[in-house]
């Protein structure tokens, strides 16, 4: 891409793809913005008149909104904490030479291939159910009353389910990063008198910083929009105890048939996601510079 000519040619070649992607994004976004200013409820046919920012006002003043916002942040933060810390520890374990390494690695990655609805249902019915679930059985075997996870700790349960799904992803990325650590660096640190913990703190953790950043950024994008796990387990409840923004938008538009309000919620969610992204890039984006 050195010459002026080749630069111009490259711009020309890449423009159809850019235009397609732009259209792909712009059309739904502008339609959502358009709907968010209309009084548009599927239960009330007739004219969809323009009502300005009323939809936004109703969505933001909805008592469920603050809960949903906090739940979203707790859900994202909790899952990120479990997956990065747990992923690092698991990656350290898997990096050790063990018998049957290949099979163990495949087993560890397996949860990522289970679709969210299926894994959430498995957790709901086979583990967390107080009557039929494994945890309930363990509790009653010990003479304790079974704990109804989804009723009494709904958000925590959702966090556990989602973390279980994403742990393999972070483990996998951190494991590849660990394997790219120069063994001579570790040996040099060993010669320099660093014990196992010092080597981990001073050599391994800084080496993993970039991979951890990638894990956090990618997971945040997906965790902000967790939906299926909530839908099949708690339905956002009890009350709004496990409702996140995505679920609130769903409830607004498809349970109350309020297209306008749902669209306004969607736009608010987009804005909030961007605020989160800006904060994240400020905090950890510098790790991505070479």
Residue with Cβ nearer other proteins (255 or 283): 283
Contact between 79 and 159 under an 8 Å Cβ cutoff? The reply is yes
Residue with Cβ nearer other proteins (167 or 216): 216
In the complex, the smallest distance separating the C-beta of residue 142 from other proteins, rounded to whole angstroms, is: 44
Residue with Cβ nearer other proteins (23 or 195): 195
Q: Give first-to-last CA distance, the chain, whole Å.
A: 22
Residues that bind other proteins (CB under 8 A): 182, 184-185, 187-195, 198, 202-203, 206-207, 209, 290
Contact between 48 and 38 under an 8 Å Cβ cutoff? The reply is yes
In the complex, the smallest distance separating the C-beta of residue 186 from other proteins, rounded to whole angstroms, is: 8
Q: What is the Cα 207 distance to its own chain's centre?
A: 24
Cis peptide before 16 (omega within 30 of 0): no
> Between helices 54-61 and 63-94, what is the axis angle to 10°?
70
For residue 112 the two structure tokens come to 């990522």
Q: Would you state the torsion angle of the CA atoms of residues 257, 121, 159, 173, taken in this order, to the nearest 10 degrees?
A: -110
In the complex, the smallest distance separating the C-beta of residue 87 from other proteins, rounded to whole angstroms, is: 20
**Residue 56 CB neighbour total at 10 angstroms:** 18
Contacts of 81 (CB under 8 A, 6+ apart): none
Three-point CA angle 34, 272, 289, nearest 5°:
120
Residue with Cβ nearer other proteins (132 or 185): 185
In the complex, the smallest distance separating the C-beta of residue 205 from other proteins, rounded to whole angstroms, is: 9
In the complex, the smallest distance separating the C-beta of residue 198 from other proteins, rounded to whole angstroms, is: 6
Residue with Cβ nearer other proteins (209 or 277): 209
In the complex, the smallest distance separating the C-beta of residue 173 from other proteins, rounded to whole angstroms, is: 18
In the complex, the smallest distance separating the C-beta of residue 178 from other proteins, rounded to whole angstroms, is: 15
Residue 290 CA to residue 283 CA, distance in Å, equals 16
Contacts of 24 (CB under 8 A, 6+ apart): none
Residue with Cβ nearer other proteins (26 or 288): 288
Residue with Cβ nearer other proteins (12 or 196): 196
Three-point CA angle 168, 169, 174, nearest 5°:
95
């Amino acid at each position: 891409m050195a010459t002026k000519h080749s630069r111009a040619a490259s711009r020309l070649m890449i423009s159809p793809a850019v235009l397609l992607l732009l259209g792909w994004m712009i059309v739904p976004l502008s339609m959502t913005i358009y709907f968010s200013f209309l009084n548009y409820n599927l239960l009330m046919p007739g004219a969809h008149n323009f009502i300005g920012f009323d939809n936004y006002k109703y969505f933001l003043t909805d008592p469920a909104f603050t809960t949903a916002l906090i739940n979203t942040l707790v859900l994202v933060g909790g899952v990120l904490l479990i997956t990065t810390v747990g992923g690092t520890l698991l990656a350290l374990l898997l990096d050790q030479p063990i018998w049957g390494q290949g099979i163990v690695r495949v087993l560890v990655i397996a949860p990522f291939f289970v679709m969210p609805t299926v894994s959430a249902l498995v957790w709901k019915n086979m583990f967390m159910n107080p009557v039929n679930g494994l945890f309930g059985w363990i509790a009653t075997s010990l003479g304790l009353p079974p704990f109804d996870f989804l009723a009494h700790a709904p958000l925590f349960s959702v966090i556990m389910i989602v973390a279980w799904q994403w742990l393999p992803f972070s483990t996998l990325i951190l494991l590849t990063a660990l394997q790219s650590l120069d063994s001579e660096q570790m040996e040099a640190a060993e010669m320099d008198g660093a014990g196992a913990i010092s080597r981990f703190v001073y050599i391994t953790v800084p080496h993993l910083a970039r991979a951890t950043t990638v894990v956090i950024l990618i997971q945040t994008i997906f965790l902000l929009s967790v939906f299926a796990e909530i839908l099949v387990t708690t339905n956002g409840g009890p009350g709004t105890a496990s409702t996140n923004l995505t679920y609130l938008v769903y409830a607004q538009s498809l349970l109350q048939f309020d297209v306008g309000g749902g669209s306004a919620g969607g736009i608010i969610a987009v804005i909030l996601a961007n605020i989160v992204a800006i904060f994240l890039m400020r905090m950890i984006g510098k790790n991505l510079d070479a």
